[in-house]
């Protein structure tokens, strides 16, 4: 009788597997731990929440073709909704006249609300353009020392802020050059508004810093930073007389971020951290603390850029608010104890 092909090893039970030997090859020396590069566990804060929010404000670099496609899609959606509402009203009028007239009245209210919204957006955009035009005219009058042009700017400022014409003319009679005339208008009309706008910037920076330090969710702090910055920009524009609607505020926010990117003001590095709290010490105390301070500093930069764009006159008699001072006042006492 022949032998079976697979003869179990001695001592092994039927139906069970024995030990398996794996050849590892030649022995290699263990790696030298001392020669490995040290791992830096304290990565410096990057301000990711504010950077992501500003990328969202800038549109992420979308091309004109993408904007055209989205605009066409929005128009198609509005057309489809309008046709659906028309068919609904026509059908209800044919079957249930009372409900049809009710639907027609509701559709009319919706159309009226949309028309009012479009009108408000147009007026808001016009007010923002007026501020920009006044600033450009003032800069041109200063460069050329054009006294009549400066008087036109001061009269426009008086109408913007509701100053009586007699008071404006009396103030202009005391100045005999463009610089003195515009500086006087800045002292009378804008210095108090500058203080209120600076308070809005400090409040926005404080709020973003606090949210970033306390909210551990990445998307939540990005959304909160975006909303806080949009609200801060809208309030600054409103203070200077540019009450913008939703679309106007969004366009202004994109202009602010574009201005910051063009001037390279978003490159916040060790120099900014050094002016705030001694450079890399922030990240060693608490990473969330460092992220909060850096996001607050970026928010302050956005607010100061919004002041530059919304202010109808350039800074002349009053100095432009310094970033370090604004951030210092905004964060003073907020992080008395760094979170763990």
What is the tens place of the pLDDT at every residue in 265-317? 555 444 454 445 444 445 445 666 777 788 888 888 899 989 998 999 999 98
Structural domain count, the chain:
1
Cβ-contact 224, 211 below 8 angstroms: yes
Q: Within a domain: residue 1?
A: no
Q: Within a domain: residue 63?
A: no
Rounded distance between C-alpha atoms, residue 82 and residue 239, angstroms: 38
Q: What is the pLDDT of residue 21?
A: 55
Q: Within a domain: residue 128?
A: yes
Average pLDDT over residues 95-116: 90
Q: Within a domain: residue 173?
A: yes
Could you give the percent of the chain with pLDDT greater than 90?
23
Rounded distance between C-alpha atoms, residue 93 and residue 101, angstroms: 7
Structural domain boundaries, residue 194: 83-331
Average pLDDT over residues 146-150: 91
Rounded distance between C-alpha atoms, residue 217 and residue 288, angstroms: 11
For the chain, give percent helix, strand, coil, nearest 5.
70, 0, 30
Higher local confidence (pLDDT), 13 or 241: 241
pLDDT at 67 over 90: no
Here the tokens at position 248 are: 């106007």
pLDDT at 225 over 80: yes
Q: Within a domain: residue 260?
A: yes
Q: What is the largest CA-CA distance in the chain?
A: 131
Q: At what angle do helices 287-310 and 97-144 cross, to 10 degrees?
A: 80
Higher local confidence (pLDDT), 20 or 319: 319
pLDDT range class, residue 33, cuts 50, 70, 90:
very low
Average pLDDT over residues 254-266: 69
Higher local confidence (pLDDT), 36 or 182: 182
How many Cβ atoms are within 10 Å of 321's Cβ, its own excluded? 20
Cβ-contact 148, 178 below 8 angstroms: no
Q: Within a domain: residue 268?
A: yes
Q: What is the pLDDT of residue 251?
A: 81
Q: Would you put residue 278 in left (φ > 0), alpha (ψ -120 to 50) or beta?
A: left
Q: Within a domain: residue 106?
A: yes
Q: Within a domain: residue 337?
A: no
pLDDT at 332 over 50: yes
Rounded distance between C-alpha atoms, residue 125 and residue 248, angstroms: 5
Residue written as tokens 């702090």?
221
Which is it for the CA torsion 190, 193, 198, 201, positive or negative?
negative
pLDDT range class, residue 329, cuts 50, 70, 90:
confident
Mean pLDDT of the residues in the chain:
77
Rounded distance between C-alpha atoms, residue 128 and residue 233, angstroms: 12
């Amino acid at each position: 009788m022949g032998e079976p092909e697979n003869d179990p090893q001695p001592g092994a039970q039927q139906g069970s597997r024995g030990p398996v030997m794996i050849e590892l090859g030649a022995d290699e020396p263990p790696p030298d731990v001392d020669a490995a590069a040290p791992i830096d566990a304290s990565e410096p804060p990057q301000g990711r929440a504010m950077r992501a929010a500003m990328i969202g404000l800038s549109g992420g670099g979308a091309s004109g073709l993408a904007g055209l496609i989205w605009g066409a899609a929005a128009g198609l959606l509005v057309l489809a909704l309008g046709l659906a509402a028309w068919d609904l009203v026509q059908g209800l009028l044919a079957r249930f006249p009372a409900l049809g007239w009710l639907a027609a009245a509701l559709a009319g209210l919706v159309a009226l609300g949309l028309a009012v919204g479009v009108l408000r957006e147009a007026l808001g955009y016009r007010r923002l353009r007026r501020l920009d035009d006044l600033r450009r005219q003032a800069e041109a009058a200063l460069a050329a020392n054009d006294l009549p042009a400066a008087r036109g700017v001061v009269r426009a400022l008086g109408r913007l802020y509701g100053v009586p014409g007699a008071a404006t003319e009396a103030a202009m009679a005391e100045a005999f050059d463009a610089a003195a005339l515009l500086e006087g208008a800045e002292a009378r009309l804008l210095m108090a508004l500058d203080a209120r706008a600076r308070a809005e910037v400090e409040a926005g920076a404080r709020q973003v810093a606090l949210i970033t330090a306390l909210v551990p969710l990445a998307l939540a702090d990005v959304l909160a930073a975006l909303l806080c910055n949009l609200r801060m920009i809208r309030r600054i524009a409103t203070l200077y007389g540019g009450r913008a609607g939703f679309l106007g505020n969004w366009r202004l926010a994109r202009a602010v971020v574009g201005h910051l990117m063009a001037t390279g003001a978003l490159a916040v590095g060790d120099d900014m951290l050094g002016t705030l709290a001694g450079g890399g010490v922030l990240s060693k105390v608490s990473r969330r603390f460092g992220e909060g301070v850096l996001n607050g500093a970026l928010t302050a930069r956005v607010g100061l850029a919004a002041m530059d764009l919304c202010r109808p006159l350039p800074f002349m008699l009053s100095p432009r608010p310094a970033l370090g001072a604004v951030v210092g006042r905004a964060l003073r006492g907020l992080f008395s104890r760094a979170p763990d």
